[in-house]
Amino acid sequence: MRYAEKDRITKETSVHCELTVDGTGSADIDTGIGFFNHMMELLAFHSGMDITLRADGDLDVDDHHTIEDCGIVLGTVLKEALGDRVGIARYGWFVLPMDETLCETSLDISGRPYLVCSCAFDRDQIGMMSTEMVREFLRAFAFAAGITLHVNVRYGDNDHHKAEAIFKSLAHALAAAVRIQGDTLLSSKGMLE
């Protein structure tokens, strides 16, 4: 079973996360930020991974520390759950339409973290989540997981749709990349780093 869990406690946040890669898409999410909870539920459902994510953060300051730390912890547990990554497809991509919005996500579970994120939001917040935190979550997640991640919202007008398309397309790209397709490490170098 590809599973990992982690607790991360700082002066700003306390985060607990459990992840089962080969799950059913169930989610038990409580971060104190309603729209972010919704995004994490979509990530679980569309990836087929089971995610428990609980965070208690300094929301009296703002949402930055909580969302960033959730990204760090989720990325860390994914990396741990995948272990040596032998047999995984490694690459994943997905193009997702959501009403007027089109988002494409491509990723490589390479061990070499990188983020390219092209998305322009028109408003500062969606619910209680700052739109700038979409990029910050992706960065924290990709760097902790060791993923090269490219996210491009090609077009769209509605910020809710843009954010939702990002998390759904990320989920589908992850599902493709973590799929077991053999018994060898997909690297001509013989290692992923």
- Please list, in sequence order, all residues whose beta carbon lies within 8 angstroms of the beta carbon of residue 161, skipping any fewer than 6 positions away: 98, 99, 100, 101
Strand 148-155 relative to strand 13-20, pairing: unpaired
In a domain, 188, yes or no: no
CATH number, domain of 38, equals 3.30.230.40
In a domain, 91, yes or no: yes
In a domain, 20, yes or no: yes
In a domain, 184, yes or no: no
In a domain, 193, yes or no: no
Per-residue model confidence as pLDDT tens digits over 109-147: 999 999 999 999 999 999 999 999 999 999 999 999 999
In this predicted structure, the answer to whether residue 185 has a pLDDT above a threshold of 80 is no
The angle at the Cα of 97, spanning 178 to 24, to the nearest 5 degrees, equals 35
In a domain, 171, yes or no: yes
Per-residue model confidence as pLDDT tens digits over 145-154: 999 999 999 9
pLDDT interval class at 192 (50, 70, 90): low
Q: How many domains does the chain have?
A: 1
Overall pTM surpassing 0.75 (yes/no) = yes
Of the candidates 49, 58, 70, the one whose C-alpha atom is nearest the C-alpha of residue 6 is 70
Residue 156 belongs to what domain range?
3-178
